[in-house]
Structure 1
Amino acid sequence: MPAASGPEPQMGWHFAVPMLRWCAPDSGALNEALEALILARRAVGPEAHLSNVGGWQSHPDLFDGPAPCIGTLRRHIVSLMRIVMAVPAGGDRTRIEGQLGLTGWANVNRDGDFNRVHDHPGSHWSGVYYVSLGEPDPGTELNGAIEFLDPRPSANMPIPGYRAGSAMSMLPAAGEFILFPSWIQHYVMPFRGRGDRISIAFNAGLKDYRVL
Structure 2
Amino acid sequence: MTIDIALDQEAALFFGTPVIMLRPEGAADVNAGLARQILERAGREPGVARSNAGGWQSRPDLLNWGGPEVAAYRGWLERAVRAAQRLPARRAGVEEFRLSFTAQAWANVSRAGHYNEVHTHPGNHWAVVYYVTAPAPDPARPLSGRLELRDPRPAAPFAAAPGFSFGAAMTLPAEAGLMVLFPAWLEHSVHPFFAAGERISIAANVAITDYAVGAQPRPGDQRA
TM-score (norm 2): 0.86
Match of 1:100 in 2: 101
The answer on whether the counterparts of 2:108 and 2:200 sit within 8 Å (CA) in structure 1 is yes
The answer on whether the counterparts of 1:18 and 1:89 sit within 8 Å (CA) in structure 2 is no
Indicate the percent of aligned positions where both proteins have the same amino acid: 37
- Name the SS of the counterpart of 1:190 in structure 2: coil
- C-alpha distance in structure 2 between counterparts of 1:56 and 1:178, whole Å: 21
The answer on whether the counterparts of 2:89 and 2:213 sit within 8 Å (CA) in structure 1 is no
Q: CA deviation at 1:153?
A: 1.4
- C-alpha distance in structure 2 between counterparts of 1:96 and 1:105, whole Å: 28
Change (3 A) 1:93 1:125: farther
Which digits, 9 at most, give the CA deviation of each residue in 1:167-198, with x for residues without a partner? 11111311000010100000000000111000
The answer on whether the counterparts of 1:111 and 1:192 sit within 8 Å (CA) in structure 2 is yes
The answer on whether the counterparts of 2:101 and 2:210 sit within 8 Å (CA) in structure 1 is no
Matching residue within 163, 166, 173 for 2:165: 163
Q: CA deviation at 1:137?
A: 1.7
Match of 1:136 in 2: 137
- C-alpha distance in structure 2 between counterparts of 1:177 and 1:98, whole Å: 20
Q: Pairwise mapping of residues 1-212 of structure 1 onto structure 2 (< 5 A)? A: 9-88=9-88, 91-93=91-93, 96-156=97-157, 157-212=159-214
Moved more, 50-59 or 86-95: 86-95
Aligned residue-pair number: 206
Change (3 A) 1:127 1:59: same
The answer on whether the counterparts of 1:128 and 1:200 sit within 8 Å (CA) in structure 2 is yes
Q: CA deviation at 1:107?
A: 0.5
Q: CA deviation at 1:89?
A: 9.6
- C-alpha distance in structure 1 between counterparts of 2:120 and 2:88, whole Å: 20
2:76 is aligned with what amino acid? H
Moved more, 181-190 or 131-140: 131-140
1:71 is aligned with what amino acid? A
The answer on whether the counterparts of 1:85 and 1:97 sit within 8 Å (CA) in structure 2 is no
The answer on whether the counterparts of 2:111 and 2:198 sit within 8 Å (CA) in structure 1 is yes
Moved more, 184-193 or 155-164: 155-164
- Name the SS of the counterpart of 1:34 in structure 2: helix
Q: CA deviation at 1:98?
A: 2.8
- C-alpha distance in structure 1 between counterparts of 2:92 and 2:148, whole Å: 28
- Name the SS of the counterpart of 1:136 in structure 2: coil
Q: CA deviation at 1:49?
A: 0.6
- Name the SS of the counterpart of 1:88 in structure 2: helix
Match of 1:4 in 2: none
Moved more, 183-192 or 58-67: 58-67
- C-alpha distance in structure 2 between counterparts of 1:9 and 1:188, whole Å: 39
Task: Give the aligned CA root-mean-square deviation in angstroms.
Answer: 1.9
- C-alpha distance in structure 1 between counterparts of 2:187 and 2:139, whole Å: 27
Moved more, 107-116 or 164-173: 164-173
Change (3 A) 1:139 1:154: same
- C-alpha distance in structure 2 between counterparts of 1:9 and 1:20, whole Å: 27
User: Unmatched 5+ residue regions in structure 1?
Assistant: 2-7
Match of 1:5 in 2: none
